[in-house]
Structure 1
Amino acid sequence: MINADTDAEAIACWLREYRGSPRTQQAYRREAERLLLWLADQGLGLAAMRREHLDTFEAFLGDPRPRARWVGPTRPRKDDRWRPFRGPLSPASRRQSLVILQGMFNWLAEAGWVRHNPFRLMRDKRRRLDNHQGRIERYLERQLWTWLWRWLNRPLEDGASGRQCFEYERRRFTFGFAYLLAPRIGEMSASRMADFTQREGRWWWQVTGKGGKTASIPVPPDMLSLLKAWRCRLGLSSEPAPDETGPLLRALDGTRGLGDNRLYRLVCETFHKAAEVLEQEQGEDARAYVSRLRRATPHWLRHTALTHQAQAGVELRYLAETARHSRLDTTARYLHAEDEEWHRQQSFHGLDRP
């Protein structure tokens, strides 16, 4: 039912169904490509995939080996050093991958490209492919974020070059933007100056996010201060004009925008540098925090922002609007107050002191 001669062409037909949602299409392409590369390594094609292959593939997602062949830092797809993984996938990411691939096989079966969907043979399918996730764990605790933000704001040494001053302000703005407005990485790189608008004396950030959904997010005073400082560094007026279409985050020339990959690397490099400094300054006392910084990715900043807003008492309905979640139970994963209270009350129960 489709015009395709190879597995790659068949998957391309499936991906075209998501052309209206570029972010979704990009995520689905990544998972399909990982599967195709793994099948090629096994000497198999999509039509040859059987039930027993699913367990092997799921284990591979959790530990892609040999590491040098499969794992590497983010690079352009055409770069010879590009690798399909940045590291082993977490249980939640493995589950998400299987959910996407199950849908792909359903479509390919309907299209007549494969005869069956091996996912239908999984007896524990509901448990394995249940995409419901528990509480958010990949975020920076308040104390760790406080240290990180103070470190980002440490004054530069005397005699810093113009490039160092530019990168300093860009890091501050990037992390402040991510923490205060909880954007996704793609939303940050796509943001334009004119996306910050003023209505009746209040500033709003206009964003087009996942699934092409648009939203207006209130801009708090600290975000407006960061925006003004960043624009000052760029040599612009303090506030953006309605017709100012230039990119928000910019390369060293001050005009070109930052792509997703470059922005991703910038944030990860900052996390790793922060981990080195924290380890040097506090040693073993900060071992847990150092480990978290080394594992952190840009999406941790979104989780951190939403978690800290919830802890600060932002109502669930407003938190959901900021996160742009279609379901409140998705947003509720950021509510840790009940866990804290449960833990506090559990401490009442103990053993007699000898």
Structure 2
Amino acid sequence: MSTLLPTSPQTLSALLSLPASGQLNDDQALTGWLGFASIRNLQTYRSYKAESIRFRIFLLALHANSPDRNPDHILRDATETDVALYEAHLLGRYKSGEELAPLRVPTAILHRFGRKEQPFVTEVQSHGLITWSPRQLKPASVNQALSILHALYQYWMRPDPTTKVAYVGANPVKRVKSSSNRMQRQTARNFPIEALQAMFDCIEMRMELEVEDPQAQAYLARDRWVASLLFGLWGRRSEIARLAMKDFQHDGKRWTVRVARKGNKQQSLPVAPWVVQELMNYRESIGLKSLPLRSESRPAIARIRKTAEEIEAESRNDAEYTPPPINSDTIYRIVTDIARVTAEYLRSGSVLPDVDATTRELYASLLDEMSPHWFRHSGASIAINSGAMSMENASKMLGHSSTNVTAEMYYHPDEQQIEQGIARLGDQLRRSTKTKAEHEHEHDQ
């Protein structure tokens, strides 16, 4: 089994004595990349390691019978076609919509990397027969996989400081990944503030309709609180799911919340008054005092359906018991449910009735595609591009390592100018057409 765990100072210092870059194999080249990743962030290192192994397994399986592919350099020699096929096998289909033949990895390859489960297919049993179906990952997971591989090959393209030679001459992921460029994806995942208002209006209308149903009221109150947290804190759903009531604190001047970022890095963020008001409303809806205590360890988002352990703890009045936090996948389902129902209300004219039908359909079509991450992108884009928040403060709210990352993803100052410019051109065209018509009318007279 290959060893790719360069976490100790001794191992990292040994990188200096590796052979010239042209003589490296994939194991040695990965050792260098993962070694520096482990210094930056342990969670990043684990993600990078897992993805590089999965891609390596894919290439070895794909080219198992190719004599021109050296297994020791299978990563180095990867092509754009390899990457495009890898993307298809992660998605479980070709982008054209055509069916994809299942790829079963030989057991010997899996064992080499300590794996047992097939990474690209799932077992299907029907009428006593076992067949294999392509495994389908979420598009976001596929994008993340390509981003990691893109970072790997970008690193390998840099010449070694000692030998001045790079491990690879080109990045095979670059053009495949460019079709789903990160900045373009963030721009596409935005919704206007009116769509958020429609979501809140929809929840309020449903609460009025379900006033006699306590369980429905509990779900809807939680829906509103989840939407408020996502838009008010710009947090990832995993970060929101981990929040506890005690994470909300008042320091004598303002409310703050402690958020566990990637790699469990703790960050304290200011909380807007409207989010605090939503917190109070939510707590009151589930029978708690308006404001949390400093020692209150219960999750910030309560489970509606209690576990058997939680029911037992309540029956014995166990004050030490802490209920488990909500699952991040539950947050995903909550958001998609809110978005789906709101889209229906928009199309029927039940919410935002004063907005024209075309605009309501635009909002509805955006809601059809929404996921929790849209709140993060939309909140940041609205705040930055409206001038409501500086780039530095927005970067802090997002938990970015630098303002350059924030600016690339969320700052698009020319868009409004372009829109206004096109509108002015339209006004000039209409004036020109009107003037021409007037001249023709005068000539006819």
| 1:294 equivalent in alignment to 2:346 | no
C-alpha deviation, 1:136, in angstroms: 2.8
Which of residues 212, 215, 226 in structure 2 aligns to 1:174? 226
| 1:210 equivalent in alignment to 2:258 | no
Give the whole-Å Cα distance in 2 for the aligned partners of 1:189 and 1:276: 27
Relative to structure 1, the CA distance from residue 88 to residue 209 in structure 2 (aligned partners, 3 Å threshold; closer, same or farther) is: closer
Aligned equivalent of 2:339:
271
- Contact 1:20/1:212 (<8 A) preserved: no
Q: Secondary structure at the match of 1:216?
A: strand
Give the whole-Å Cα distance in 1 for the aligned partners of 2:204 and 2:282: 13
Give the whole-Å Cα distance in 2 for the aligned partners of 1:269 and 1:30: 32
Aligned equivalent of 1:321:
396
Relative to structure 1, the CA distance from residue 240 to residue 298 in structure 2 (aligned partners, 3 Å threshold; closer, same or farther) is: same
Q: Secondary structure at the match of 1:348?
A: helix
Aligned equivalent of 2:294:
242
> What's the CA shift string for 1:115-158, capped at 9, x where partnerless?
x96xx242687777798736733111222222222212224224
Q: Secondary structure at the match of 1:206?
A: strand
Which of residues 420, 423, 428 in structure 2 aligns to 1:344? 420
C-alpha deviation, 1:233, in angstroms: 2.5
Give the whole-Å Cα distance in 1 for the aligned partners of 2:330 and 2:53: 21
Give the alignment of 1:137-216 within 5 angstroms.
137-156=188-207, 157-158=209-210, 160-216=212-268
Give the whole-Å Cα distance in 2 for the aligned partners of 1:39 and 1:155: 51
C-alpha deviation, 1:217, in angstroms: 1.2
> What's the CA shift string for 1:288-321, capped at 9, x where partnerless?
3333222221111111111222225212222222
Identity among equivalent positions (%) equals 19
Aligned equivalent of 1:61:
87
Unaligned 5+ segments in structure 2 are 5-25, 65-70, 102-118, 125-133, 158-165, 307-322, 351-355, 437-445
Give the alignment of 1:123-134 within 5 angstroms.
133=183
Give the whole-Å Cα distance in 1 for the aligned partners of 2:39 and 2:332: 23
Q: Secondary structure at the match of 2:187?
A: coil
Relative to structure 1, the CA distance from residue 313 to residue 32 in structure 2 (aligned partners, 3 Å threshold; closer, same or farther) is: same
Give the alignment of 1:21-32 within 5 angstroms.
21=41, 24=44, 27-28=47-48, 31-32=51-52
| 1:335 equivalent in alignment to 2:335 | no
Relative to structure 1, the CA distance from residue 317 to residue 54 in structure 2 (aligned partners, 3 Å threshold; closer, same or farther) is: same
Worse overlay, 27-36 or 170-179: 27-36
Which of residues 311, 327, 331 in structure 2 aligns to 1:259? 327
Q: Secondary structure at the match of 1:289?
A: helix
TM-score by length of 2: 0.61
**Count of paired positions:** 334
Relative to structure 1, the CA distance from residue 244 to residue 158 in structure 2 (aligned partners, 3 Å threshold; closer, same or farther) is: closer
C-alpha deviation, 1:237, in angstroms: 1.6
Letter in 2 for 1:143: E
Higher relative contact order, structure no. (Cα contacts within 8 Å, ≥ 6 residues apart): 1
- Contact 2:302/2:325 (<8 A) preserved: yes
Letter in 1 for 2:304: L
Pair member with larger Rg:
2
- Contact 1:96/1:129 (<8 A) preserved: yes
Letter in 2 for 1:61: E
Relative to structure 1, the CA distance from residue 23 to residue 154 in structure 2 (aligned partners, 3 Å threshold; closer, same or farther) is: farther
Give the whole-Å Cα distance in 2 for the aligned partners of 1:262 and 1:30: 25
Give the whole-Å Cα distance in 2 for the aligned partners of 1:303 and 1:34: 29
Q: Secondary structure at the match of 1:263?
A: helix
TM-score by length of 1: 0.75
Give the whole-Å Cα distance in 2 for the aligned partners of 1:172 and 1:34: 39
Unaligned 5+ segments in structure 1 are 71-76, 107-115
